[in-house]
Amino acid sequence: MAELESTKMMPKSITFLSSLLQRVADSNDLNREFQPQKISVFHGLTRPTISIQSYLERIFKYANCSPSCFVVAYVYLDRFAQRQPSLPINSLNVHRLLITSVLVSAKFMDDMYYNNAYYARVGGISTIEMNYLEVDFLFGLGFNLNVTPNTFHTYCSYLQREMMQQPSLNLAESSLNLGRSLKVHLCFNEDETSHQQQQLAV
C-alpha cells in the first residue's frame, strides 16, 4: 500500500524516464555479447539490487531538486551517450550515470542544491567516487551543459508522447532488434543550427 501511495506522488515523467532507462539498459545488456563495450568509472562490478525506478524515486525524494532537473538530466544522459558511443548505458553503469546526471543538472539549473557528499549518500556511493563521477561526466559531455528552451520543450514533449504510448509499447518489437546497434535509438536533432544532438529513445 505504501508503495502504491509513493508511486502516485511521483511525477509521471519520473516513472517513464525510469522505464525508458530500464529498456535501454536491458537492450544494451543483450548487445554486450555482440559488440565490445568500454569499462569506465561508472561501471559497478555487479548489477545493483535496487531497480532503476526505485533508485530514481529515491533521488526524487531526497535530492529536492526542481522537476526540470530530471528533464535536463535526461538531456545530459542523451548527450553523454552520443559523445561516448563505446560506453552505452547498461545495467552496470545506469545507476551511477543517473545520480551523476541529476547532480550536474541540479548544480546547473537550481539556485540551491545539496553538495556532493549528500548526493553520494543518496546514491549509495562514497563522496570521493561521486567527485570522480562528476568530473568524468563533465568531460564526457564536453562541458556542454546549456539546454535551450527549445531543446527542453522538445524533450518534455517526447516524454509526454511516450507516456501516452507506454502501455502499447512492445519491448520485443521496439528495442530488441539484434541486427543493429542498441546503444541508442535516435529521434531528432536537438539544435538545427549547430552540431547534431539527438534524443535517447528505444
Structural domain includes residue 102: yes
> Tens digits of per-residue pLDDT, 187-199?
334 443 343 344 4
> Tens digits of per-residue pLDDT, 93-129?
889 999 999 999 999 988 888 899 999 999 988 999 9
Structural domain includes residue 47: yes
Structural domain includes residue 35: yes
Structural domain includes residue 148: yes
pTM as predicted: 0.74
pLDDT of 51 strictly over 80? yes
Taking the C-alpha atoms of residue 10 and residue 57, their distance in angstroms, rounded to an integer, is 7
Structural domain includes residue 74: yes
Structural domain includes residue 144: yes
> Tens digits of per-residue pLDDT, 156-200?
887 777 667 655 444 333 332 322 333 443 333 444 334 334 444
Structural domain includes residue 196: no
Query: Residue 46: which domain range?
Result: 7-161
CATH, residue 141: 1.10.472.10
Mean pLDDT of 44-60: 85
Taking the C-alpha atoms of residue 16 and residue 21, their distance in angstroms, rounded to an integer, is 9
